[in-house]
Every structure is written in structure tokens, then in C-alpha cells.
């Protein structure tokens, strides 16, 4: 219907004429209350925002002389962060005279990146900025089938752990002599 006729008809009904799809041929308009339309649009945006996952960058700090146990502990944290879908920034901080051994820090970062190859992808080589060397690692995209397989494996591992703990607690204590 012509634009003027549509405006007149909307006014007769006590409503506003809202242009829904201006680029369509012919343009699509709807007769409804403008306040109601605004409310519905905000509601749609809020729902869309709820469903999206914000990717954060989690930072893990090392020193050039980080011990193996501390390294493994931080590596496990990085694996958890990557599986959650966040990026990891591994940083080696140099203090005092440690800056003379930048090669140790870069080796540590390369080892860290290599240990996370199955879970994350390295974005570039380790870079030195001031007294810090860092590398960024992004999570590997998994297909829905791979996610299901990983969840099933995790469930089986949890069941085995429960059975093992149950068998340990169910065994009677050995008599002392």
C-alpha cells in the first residue's frame, strides 16, 4: 500500500508506522506502538548478548629459573583456560641481572608452547618487550563431535576414579600385629 495510506491507517488505529526492512523491495513497514517495538528490540539484543561467549586473555607469569613442578602446575592452568575457550598469554619476567639471559626465557616459552600443541595454537614467536618476553596461545577450535568424545572420555575417567576410591574405602583395614 502507498506510504501515505499506510500512515493514515496507522493513525486511525492509534499506532505508529515503523519501517522494519528499509532495503527490501518494496520496503516493509509495520503498524504498532513505537515504545513496544523499542522494548522488543532491547529484549532481542539482551538475549543475543547472553548467548555470546566473550574471549578473555588469561596471563600466566614465569621467571627464567622456574622449577619443573611450578611449570607443570601453570601448564595445567593454561590447559584449563584453553579448554574453556580463553586465550593464554605466557610471560617470562626478567628481574635485575636476569635480563642478560633472555635466551633462557625464550626457551621456556617455546617449551611451554610445544607442550600445549594439542590444546592451543601459538600466535607468533616469543617477543621481548622491555623486561618481559611473551607469547600468545589461542584455543584450538573443536568440532561438536570432538567435544562429545572429550566429554564421554571425561565421564568415563570420573567413573573410574569413583570406583577406585570406593574400592579403597570399602576394603577392611589390615590387622596390626
Which residue ranges make up each domain of the chain? 1-35, 57-139
Q: Which residues touch 103 (CB under 8 Å, ≥6 apart)?
A: none
Q: Is the pLDDT of residue 93 over 70?
A: yes
> How is domain 1-35 classified at the CATH fold level?
Ubiquitin-like (UB roll) (3.10.20)
In which band, very low, low, confident or very high, does the pLDDT at 170 lie, cut at 50, 70 and 90? low
In which band, very low, low, confident or very high, does the pLDDT at 167 lie, cut at 50, 70 and 90? low
Q: What is the mean pLDDT of residues 97-110?
A: 88
Nearest Cα residue to 92 out of 78, 83, 81, 103: 103
The CATH number corresponding to 57-139 among 3.40.920.10, 3.40.50.1450, 3.40.50.620, 3.30.110.10 equals 3.30.110.10
Q: What digits encode the pLDDT tens for the residues 125-165?
A: 888 888 899 999 998 876 667 667 767 776 777 787 777 66
CA-CA distances (angstroms) from residue 109 to 17, 53, 74, 98, 157? Answer: 61, 28, 12, 15, 31
Amino acid at each position: 500500500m502507498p506510504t501515505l495510506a499506510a500512515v493514515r491507517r496507522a493513525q486511525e488505529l492509534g499506532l505508529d508506522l515503523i519501517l522494519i526492512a528499509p532495503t527490501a523491495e518494496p520496503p516493509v513497514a509495520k503498524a504498532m506502538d513505537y515504545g513496544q517495538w523499542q522494548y522488543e528490540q532491547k529484549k532481542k539484543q539482551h538475549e543475543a548478548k547472553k548467548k555470546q561467549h566473550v574471549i578473555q586473555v588469561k596471563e600466566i607469569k614465569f621467571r627464567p629459573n622456574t622449577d619443573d613442578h611450578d611449570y607443570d602446575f601453570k601448564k595445567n592452568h593454561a590447559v584449563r583456560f584453553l579448554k574453556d575457550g580463553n586465550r593464554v598469554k605466557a610471560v617470562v619476567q626478567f628481574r635485575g641481572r636476569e635480563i642478560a639471559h633472555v635466551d633462557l626465557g625464550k626457551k621456556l616459552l617455546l617449551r611451554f608452547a610445544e607442550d600445549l600443541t594439542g590444546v592451543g595454537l601459538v600466535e607468533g614467536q616469543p617477543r621481548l618487550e622491555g623486561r618481559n618476553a611473551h607469547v600468545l596461545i589461542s584455543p584450538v577450535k573443536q568440532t561438536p563431535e570432538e567435544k562429545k568424545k572429550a566429554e564421554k572420555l571425561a565421564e568415563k575417567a570420573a567413573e573410574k576414579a569413583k570406583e577406585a576410591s570406593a574400592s579403597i574405602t570399602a576394603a577392611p583395614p589390615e590387622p596390626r600385629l
